[in-house]
């Protein structure tokens, strides 16, 4: 394993995670939420993640497992790994407290309301930061392992995850600022929630990479595909539809798939 590849994979994961801070900054320096663009961008992100998961990541996982274990066992294990990834992220969702649900959408306009010191809002914002951090941990593993295996694939995944981290940053910043009036505190918690992604990358490097074999790689990649599809269907598309204007999210979805398909063809 080359050091340069590890540094590149970690850098992509770090940048994707810190996009939560970008969301926080946007909340401070813009007066209105561009719902049309946000809907398109979230749809685009979902399109990239769904297409690359099913067409590229799942196939690479299956190739590795079939090559090592044979057609029947390899195919079964790929499907098991795929749904195991879905179950993992679904369990994370299930055990996150409702007041910290990162799917709760916030708008930039809410930042312009006068802070009122509401302790319940501070608690909600803190729980949201924690919930997003928990969500971001497996996303960090996904980005890191994908970038390590295929740098161009890692870029696509990192961009898609970064886009969907932006509204999550807003979701942390709005309630914390509204309860405290402290922009620094709102930004800090938003920023910290994104650090869970590079922490996930470090965990993958320390605990998975030393034991990496074709079988383990195949299982990880299958699970990564499942995680990304679940996030797209459960998180990105519902959020995009809430911001939606006249099928904008679907146009973004199709564009994301088309861009991902074109980029994969160009690297054949």
Supply 181's token pair: 């009036």
Question: What residues form the annotated binding site for Fe(2+)?
Answer: 136, 139, 165, 168, 197
Contacts of 104 by beta carbon, 8 Å cutoff, 6+ apart: 128, 171
The tally of domains found in the chain comes to 1
pLDDT in tens, the chain (268 residues): 578 889 999 999 999 988 888 877 776 665 555 677 778 888 888 898 899 899 988 998 999 999 999 999 999 999 999 999 999 988 887 776 554 444 455 555 554 554 455 566 677 677 777 777 887 888 888 889 888 888 888 888 888 888 878 877 877 777 777 777 778 888 888 888 888 899 999 998 998 888 878 898 899 889 989 988 998 898 788 878 776 666 888 998 999 899 888 877 876 5
Question: What residues form the annotated binding site for Zn(2+)?
Answer: 139, 164, 168
Supply 229's token pair: 């599809």
Range of the domain at 55: 3-266
**Cα separations in angstroms, 207 against 67, 97, 164, 191, 201:** 24, 28, 27, 25, 10
Give the up-direction half-sphere exposure of residue 169: CA atoms within 13 A in the CB hemisphere. Answer: 27
Supply 194's token pair: 């994104």
Question: What residues form the annotated binding site?
Answer: 136, 139, 164-165, 168, 197
* pTM higher than the cut 0.85: no
């Amino acid at each position: 394993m080359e050091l340069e590849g590890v540094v590149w994979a970690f850098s992509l994961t770090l940048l994707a995670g810190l996009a939560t801070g970008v969301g926080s900054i946007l909340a401070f320096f813009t007066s209105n939420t561009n719902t049309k663009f946000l809907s398109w961008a979230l749809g685009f992100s979902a399109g990239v993640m769904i297409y690359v998961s099913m067409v590229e990541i799942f196939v690479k996982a299956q190739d590795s497992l079939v090559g090592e274990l044979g057609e029947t066992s390899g195919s079964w294990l790929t499907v098991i790994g795929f749904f195991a990834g879905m179950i993992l992220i679904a369990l994370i969702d299930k055990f996150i407290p409702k007041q910290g649900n990162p799917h709760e959408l916030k708008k930039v306009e809410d930042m312009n309301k006068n802070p009122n010191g509401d302790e319940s809002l501070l608690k909600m914002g803190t729980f949201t930061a924690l919930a997003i951090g928990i969500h971001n941990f497996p996303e960090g593993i996904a980005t890191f392992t994908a970038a390590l295996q295929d740098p161009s694939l890692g870029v696509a995944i990192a961009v898609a995850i970064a886009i969907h981290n932006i509204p999550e940053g807003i979701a942390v910043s709005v309630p914390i600022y509204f309860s405290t009036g402290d922009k620094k505190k709102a930004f800090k918690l938003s920023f910290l929630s994104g650090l869970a992604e590079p922490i996930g990358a470090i965990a993958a490097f320390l605990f998975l990479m030393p034991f990496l074999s074709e079988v383990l790689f195949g299982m990880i990649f299958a699970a990564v595909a499942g995680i990304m599809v679940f996030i797209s269907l459960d998180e990105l598309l519902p959020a995009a539809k809430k911001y939606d204007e006249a099928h904008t999210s679907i146009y973004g979805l199709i564009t994301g798939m088309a861009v991902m398909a074109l980029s994969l063809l160009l690297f054949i």
